[in-house]
Structure 1
Amino acid sequence: MRRAILAITGLAASTSALVVLKGAPGASQVAQGLPADQASVAPAAGDPGTAGGVRPAPRPAASASGRAPAARPTTGAPRTPAARSTTGTRAPAAPRTTTAAPKPALRTVSGPTVNYEYGSLSVQITLSGSRIVNVTGIGLPQSGQSGQRSDDVQRTYSGTSGEVVQKQSADLNTVSDATATSDAYQQSLQAAIDRAG
């Protein structure tokens, strides 16, 4: 008896489903366009789940594992590769602009010509800012014993590594056997330093 009731109830439910399916306008066309596992009954008119007769997209059927398959994009847009992660990478550094202090211009200052017992001479100094960077004696005697003394004084005092550049003053040691030439050189040098002041 129970079996008969269950059979009748099942038959009635199947028939009701068929009637609803056949009775809904366009339901058979929708059902025909879907795979068998996704066919569903179209909602009845006035169903709160529909808006203007538009049927929501069907749910994908669960796989054997019980999980629904991953959703695929429905827009038809081509898939783009995932953006690469930029973590740990640096944008190229902008070039550094170094503003080094401009080097002071070189300037040359000459001392007066000083006459002494073996001739005459003057001293010319080259400065970078207030620092003496080079010195030379001008007009020193070139011949004989006076020429020898002049060479000794030039070698000791003049140039970029001479005693004047090292001491940055006219307070120099007297060159042996060239006292008069040394004194004249120091006198012109001091006047040049004073002018450069």
Structure 2
Amino acid sequence: MKRRHPLRRIMIGVAATASGVVLLLALKQPSGSSVAVATVPPGGAAAPGAAAPRTAGGAPSEGAPAADVPAADAPAAGAPDDSAADEAGADTSGAPASKAPAANRPTKAAPPRERTVLGDAVDTQYGPVQVRLTLSGTRIVSAAAVQAPGSDAQSKSVTANAVPKLNQAAVTAQSARIDAVSGASYTSKGYQDSLQSALDKAGA
């Protein structure tokens, strides 16, 4: 008989021992979990390029180098983070902000319409005096005497001089508190009374 080489017997013993250890570890694993075991050749070194053993959860076992696997949820470098814009309520569409609804905008008030009010006819020693007012709201726009003394030449002359001054005074004063025109005291008094009655009718 040929005598076996002692080195070969040692290699076979090491391989048998390693197989027994691997089998023992596999039996100790909890039920439902699987262990990927790399076969170790008798020399003790793993084959180059062989994958590291992983546990049941897919993570590399302790002591094995982690594989360079890019994270699926990590944003690429330099990419904008949309979550911050969503939390801030920013509009990321690039469209301009919509204008405020027309119903919320203040509307410009229309100016008050002008109205005409006719005062009472007031009798004087030389004839009746009646004033007509044109108002915008409560403001006197213009005043005119629709009746004034003019029965004779003297009365006509006094009226022609006094009435324009009284009309201008009513617009300036915005009331019936106006001065009488010199030389036309009766006409001025009748004008003031008719003017006040027109303001009373207008509620001014």
Under TM normalisation by the shorter chain, which class is it?
A: 0.3 to 0.5
| TM-score (structure 1 length as normaliser) | 0.48
| TM-score (structure 2 length as normaliser) | 0.46
